[in-house]
Structure 1
């Protein structure tokens, strides 16, 4: 299963990369605002969830879509993404909304809210796996970055998933890392 997910990610990245020169013909900009690729530290300890059980890194891919709503000087846009654990631990798919503020200096800040589904343990079965309590979790991302030119960006990305104590247990999980963004 993990190999199939990784192959699907590689295929998706290939499609995105190969379509770069054809965006005007393909009209990607009509519905796709930005794609972000990243490498994240999996289940980072000493953050929101407080401790670490799982190991490794995650590959992260996210699409931010063009429909937008302007509020508080920034824009709210829908997002869809996922993170695949390279160590075979918990992977997740998520969707939600992002509010992003872009400063004229190139700095930007983004925060979001949504839901996630995962393939991890619901209850404590192994000491090296988080007990997340529910298959469906809340997803809260925060991102701070710098826009390098009109299309590219580099950022530090954090996300948290948990069931917000709607189920027991609720160990939660945090990821922290870097991402590259390409705006259409």
Structure 2
């Protein structure tokens, strides 16, 4: 627990210096659409998404080139925990498809982190990778609500790699 708190403090101690978004989520851990889930649990997550781009390359109007960092923690009701960091970009769906901005955003992300099984699903390794896609809607107060689908896996680094899918609903608070 001490290591977890130390890592969390180090990751989040720098975030107050930059603008960003706090993302709070709740979801279903180990969701399968064929009914084969064995370790389903409630999933709770927090992410800090920085608004500062890691690299300023490409045309300014093309968000694809503006990769931004995020840091996050995830916890399930069966005591599994995951602390991760990674990159994301977001694009307005209206601009992407129609050329006119609307209130819908598309946000893919990729991250890596340390996973602790708790009494939950055994993922075969401490190091896990997460890929996610999210669609969110901007409210009048500039906050957003969203839905995301993510996959957590050890990329065959362990003897077992069962992976897990998570369906989440989120609330975004920019500052």
Q: TM-score range by the shorter chain?
A: 0.7 to 0.9
TM-score by length of 2: 0.75
Q: How many residues align?
A: 153
2:78 touches 2:120 (CA, 8 Å); kept in 1? no
Q: 1:149 and 1:73, CA in 2 relative to 1: closer, same or farther beyond 3 A?
A: farther
2:47 touches 2:73 (CA, 8 Å); kept in 1? yes
1:161 and 2:161 correspond:
no
TM-score by length of 1: 0.72
Counterpart of 2:29 in structure 1 is 42
Taking the aligned partners of 1:33 and 1:144, their CA distance within structure 2 comes to: 18
Taking the aligned partners of 2:141 and 2:67, their CA distance within structure 1 comes to: 19
1:94 and 2:84 correspond:
yes
Q: 1:170 and 1:133, CA in 2 relative to 1: closer, same or farther beyond 3 A?
A: same
Taking the aligned partners of 1:106 and 1:94, their CA distance within structure 2 comes to: 28
1:55 touches 1:87 (CA, 8 Å); kept in 2? no
Taking the aligned partners of 1:166 and 1:136, their CA distance within structure 2 comes to: 8
* Per-residue deviation, 1:138: 1.2
3-state DSSP of counterpart to 2:67: strand
Of 137, 146, 159, which residue of structure 2 is paired with 1:146? 137
Of 114, 126, 133, which residue of structure 1 is paired with 2:124? 133
Taking the aligned partners of 2:111 and 2:166, their CA distance within structure 1 comes to: 16
Mapping for residues 64-143 of structure 1, pairs under 5 Å: 64-68=49-53, 69=56, 73-74=62-63, 75-88=66-79, 90-102=80-92, 103=94, 104-120=101-117, 129-143=120-134
